[in-house]
Amino acid sequence: MFVLPEITTGPERHLLEATMDRQRRAVIDVARGLSETDARVRLVASATTPIGLVKHAAMAERRWFQCLLQGLDESECDGPTTPGDPSFAVAEGETVADVIAEFERASARSHEIAARFDLDETRTHDVLGEVTLRFVYLLLIEDFARHAGHGDILREQLSER
């Protein structure tokens, strides 16, 4: 579901952060309100589930902000940082509320880390080379928007069952 932006003017950083937060909420809305069963239903061939999309987004927050920008070793991060299919895996005992809370904690930590950087400050990504905080914001805005769209389709499929 498209949510209108609350902030449409102001400095670039303010707009990037507001858009990032809007996409974070959209990712959370993929799973919020679903039953534990529906949140785990696989409706596509991939490992994508509503709860898995939120879990994956938490991994992305940690990978880009904690590992890349802050320079933490993966073992120092507050959760998994492995990309790909493993990032969608949700343990049997984890609830929708648990996974949403995990994503919210990772997002809050990303806010804290990003506050220490200028938009143009660079870090070296092992595949992409030099990247800026601006690039990280734009990449994750794009990624989260895409995943929220996937989640909208999954929720639509769930409602038709």
Q: For residue 129, what pLDDT is reported?
A: 97
The arithmetic mean of pLDDT across residues 117-146, rounded, is 97
| Of residues 27, 17, 22, 16, the one with CA closest to residue 4 | 22
Structure tokens that stand for 149 in this block: 């769209």
Each residue's pLDDT tens digit, 61-104? 999 999 999 999 999 999 989 988 899 999 999 999 999 999 99
**Coil vs helix vs strand at 91:** coil
What are the residue boundaries of the structural domains of the chain, listed by start?
Answer: 12-159
Q: How far is CA 45 from CA 33, 41, 50, 54, 81, in A?
A: 24, 11, 14, 18, 23
Q: Round to whole Å and give the CA distance between 114 and 17.
A: 10
Domain 12-159 has CATH 1.10.730.10: no
pLDDT (mean) for 123-147: 97
> What does the pLDDT read at residue 113?
98
Instruction: Please calculate the CA angle 158-58-160 and round it to the nearest 5 degrees.
Output: 5
Give the count of alpha carbons within 13 A of 69, CB side only. Answer: 26
pTM listed for this prediction: 0.94
Q: State the pLDDT confidence band at 1, using cuts at 50, 70 and 90.
A: low
Nearest CA-CA partner of 111 in 16, 8, 32: 16
Averaged pLDDT, 35-45: 96
Residues 22/109, Cβ–Cβ less than 8 Å: no
Give me the pLDDT at residue 146, please.
97
| Mean pLDDT within 27-55 | 96
The token duo for 57 is 């987004």
Tell me the pLDDT band of 159, cut-offs 50, 70 and 90: very high
What SS3 class is residue 71?
A: coil
- How far is residue 120 CA from its own chain's centroid? 22
Q: How far apart are CA 129 and CA 127, in angstroms?
A: 6
pLDDT at 4: 77
Question: Cα angle at 150 between 26 and 31, to 5 degrees?
Answer: 50
